[in-house]
């Protein structure tokens, strides 16, 4: 079974609509497939011969005029050459289609480095029994390097596509918890743009205690309506209530070091794309959250 998967397989097909003017493949292809969304990722796929135009291997300089059938392929043998690392991960939920794991703080989700969450998945997640099982499960979204909590992982090719669609259509509800500093309103919504794109975050203060150093420490529940890069961290900072331990967006002289960022992806809620059951899971807050409020309250 494994030997059958170690080959080039077609994973997505796109039929080009009528175009007003011709466009180079390298400019047109990014964004048309669910599996690869970035310009860099698509450029690598084209150079690796994994993109075909009307059945022939495409090149970055080929012009797309309209009506072409563009196919994206996967070379699973190359995927299998990626490193696997031995890091014990906590599995919160798992079936034949997907898994939800507790990402530790201090590790990147994916990238070119060896020590990534993605490279730890094969040794932690069971191989799906489905025909399109991925030998290397794929994270569906990202959490920042210093952020801990729930990460959704696809275990089959169809699951990756379906879960990406759920995120794209905002049908996955994500809840975070953070510790912010200084006095802040009990609840509200922030809608300031991020990188000139619309962004919306809801917040609610769950607990607040006085702090000799920071005036107040607040345990805040955060719900992002959009998914911009560093959205919650930027929005809290813009309010004047940066997240404790935020080296990027904290105020000079108010940044606590050595404890990490106090931001945790607490829960995921969505309708399972294959079983139609409600998936609602949560990952307990790291002990440092509770300890912080106990120590300050003394």
Every domain of the chain with CATH number 3.30.2350.10 lies at 90-169, 173-265+290-297
Q: Where in the chain is the domain with CATH 3.10.290.10?
A: 2-79
Interval 101-116 mean pLDDT: 90
Domain 173-265+290-297, what fold? Answer: Pseudouridine synthase (3.30.2350)
Third-level CATH fold of 2-79: 3.10.290
- What is the token pair recorded at 199? 């962004």
d(CA 131, CA 68): 29
Is 261 within 8 Å of 144 (Cβ atoms)? yes
Q: How many CA atoms lie within 13 A of 35 on its CB side?
A: 19
The answer, yes or no, to whether residue 54 has pLDDT greater than 80, is: yes
Which pLDDT value is given to residue 76? 60
The reported pTM is 0.77
Q: What is the pLDDT of residues 140-183, one digit of tens each?
A: 999 999 999 999 999 998 898 899 889 989 999 999 999 999 99
The phi, psi pair for 20, rounded to 5°, reads -75, -35
Superfamily of structural domain 90-169: Pseudouridine synthase (3.30.2350.10)
Q: Compute, in degrees rounded to 10, the torsion defined by CA atoms 26, 31, 37, 41.
A: 0
For residues 200 and 193, give the distance between their C-alpha atoms in angstroms, rounded to a whole number. 8
Q: Are 194 and 231 in contact (CB under 8 A)?
A: yes
Q: How confident is the model at residue 1 (pLDDT cuts 50, 70, 90)?
A: very low
Please tell me the least confidently modeled range out of 15-19, 286-290, 294-298.
294-298
- The conformation of residue 249, written as its DSSP 8-state character, comes to T
- What is the average pLDDT across 115-124? 92
């Amino acid at each position: 079974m494994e030997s059958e998967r170690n080959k080039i397989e077609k994973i997505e097909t796109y039929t080009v609509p009528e175009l007003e003017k011709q466009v180079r493949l390298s400019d047109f292809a990014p964004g048309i497939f669910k599996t690869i969304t970035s310009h860099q990722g698509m450029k690598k796929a084209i150079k690796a011969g994994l993109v075909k135009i009307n059945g022939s291997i495409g090149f970055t300089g080929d012009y797309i005029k309209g009506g072409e059938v563009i196919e994206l392929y996967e070379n699973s043998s190359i995927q299998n050459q990626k490193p696997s690392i031995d890091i014990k991960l906590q599995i919160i939920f798992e079936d034949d289609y997907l898994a939800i794991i507790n990402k530790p703080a201090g590790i990147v989700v994916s990238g070119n480095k060896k020590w990534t969450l993605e490279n730890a998945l094969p040794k932690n997640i069971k191989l799906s029994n489905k025909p399109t099982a991925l030998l290397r499960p794929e994270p569906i979204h990202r959490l920042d390097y210093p952020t801990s909590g729930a990460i959704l992982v696809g275990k089959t090719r169809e699951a990756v596509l379906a879960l990406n669609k759920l995120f794209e259509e905002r049908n996955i509800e994500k809840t975070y918890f953070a510790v912010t500093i200084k006095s802040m309103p009990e609840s509200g919504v922030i809608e300031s743009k991020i990188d000139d794109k619309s962004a919306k975050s809801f917040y609610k203060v769950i607990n607040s205690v006085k702090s000799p150093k920071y005036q107040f420490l607040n345990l805040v529940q955060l719900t992002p309506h959009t998914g911009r890069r560093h959205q919650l961290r930027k929005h809290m900072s813009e309010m004047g209530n940066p997240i404790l331990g935020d080296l990027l967006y904290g105020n000079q002289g108010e940044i606590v070091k050595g404890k990490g960022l106090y931001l945790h992806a607490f829960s995921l809620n969505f309708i399972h794309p294959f079983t139609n059951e409600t998936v609602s899971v949560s990952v307990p807050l790291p002990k440092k959250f509770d300890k912080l409020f106990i120590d300050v309250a003394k």
